[in-house]
Structure 1
């Protein structure tokens, strides 16, 4: 039996990244609940072949491996920092390379980070339509965290932990838990 895989993808280019840490937290919680292996990447992990790529075959083998893991994952956790009211351009570029049917029916947890509350609808007005195009199964509870929810790059907001817990429970209902493990807040 092949072990399940939860892949997280962050649209951030900078390191350290609050967004990647946020995605890593969510993907780790999902993986723990469904008995899966987590793998979390950011745009930087795709390397230098990614920005000029026009097709998947233009990517180097390492970048293609990351994309294959995303497409073959049992659960995808996708998030981006908010940039000019939307996800980052290279985050969108990644999904522009995918076949429209490649994420059909895939459970996807949506998350985003931003400087303030005014960008909180990025998940509903930007991310959800993107994954709707791919006919992915987006989990109802999306999670947005602003700068005030972090201290020194670490998520500290109990409200955001609770929202993440809710999204994790929803995706577990879709894919099924293999063991009963409580989420730490």
Structure 2
């Protein structure tokens, strides 16, 4: 992606169903398995609820995201942070490293203004090396967004790398959780849109 800003501004202009949904994947390379779940969520949101999701990766921010303060961000990094802040709903894709989310993923949220994500619908997904990492969603990601007072949907989606390695359809259990999470997320987005009207 040459310009996060260009894609994000066009998404704002389209405003499918009046909502701007951003998928943010905390991976620093492509292709990445953490993006697979976000893309699957985005496909369901579009087909089931006519909600378009613009997916951004950590790599889209470039090396400028490593700035110590928000004032030090370059344009690409600032665009990514602002896209997250202005979204009506977030779909998070997080790779699991060393039993936690990656440091640069967390750094992005260290740069987010406190309060800006209050009451924002958030759907959580994560991909790790095995089942031992599955509680990262509940013990690390959910508290992170709880700090921001965001509304995380009750169903989160976790998959191990092996489950996504084939490139085929999602396993039935993961697909069922994804469908449930999408329904919950779409309902929250609809409520937010109705309250804003």
Q: TM-score, normalised by structure 2?
A: 0.82
Instruction: Could you tell me which runs of 5 or more consecutive residues in structure 1 were left unpaired when the two chains were aligned.
Output: 178-185
Q: Does 1:147 align with 2:161?
A: yes
Change beyond 3 A, Cα 1:154–1:92: farther
Q: Does 1:125 align with 2:133?
A: no
Q: Which has the higher contact order (CA 8 A, sep 6+)?
A: 1
Which of these residues, 32, 56, 63, is aligned with residue 48 of structure 1?
63
SS at match of 1:9: strand
Q: Does 1:16 align with 2:35?
A: no
Provide the rounded CA distance (Å) in 1 between the counterparts of 2:23 and 2:79: 14
Change beyond 3 A, Cα 1:59–1:28: farther
Q: Does 1:67 align with 2:67?
A: no
Assess if the C-alpha contact under 8 Å between 1:22 and 1:155 holds in 2: no
Q: Does 1:58 align with 2:51?
A: no
Map of 1:79 onto structure 2: 93
Q: How many residues align?
A: 176
Q: Does 1:163 align with 2:177?
A: yes
C-alpha displacement at 1:162, in angstroms? Answer: 0.8
C-alpha displacement at 1:99, in angstroms? Answer: 1.1
SS at match of 1:68: helix
SS at match of 1:87: coil
SS at match of 2:117: coil
Provide the rounded CA distance (Å) in 2 between the counterparts of 1:8 and 1:155: 20
Provide the rounded CA distance (Å) in 1 between the counterparts of 2:168 and 2:81: 27
Structural RMSD (CA): 1.9
After TM superposition, list the pairs within 5 Å mapping 1:87-106 onto structure 2: 87-106=101-120
Provide the rounded CA distance (Å) in 1 between the counterparts of 2:21 and 2:84: 8
Change beyond 3 A, Cα 1:28–1:58: farther
Instruction: Could you tell me which runs of 5 or more consecutive residues in structure 2 were left unpaired when the two chains were aligned.
Output: 1-13, 192-197
Provide the rounded CA distance (Å) in 2 between the counterparts of 1:89 and 1:10: 13
Q: TM-score, normalised by structure 1?
A: 0.87
Provide the rounded CA distance (Å) in 2 between the counterparts of 1:97 and 1:45: 16
Provide the rounded CA distance (Å) in 1 between the counterparts of 2:40 and 2:96: 18
Compare the two structures and name the one with the higher helix fraction: 2
Compare the two structures and name the one with the higher strand fraction: 1
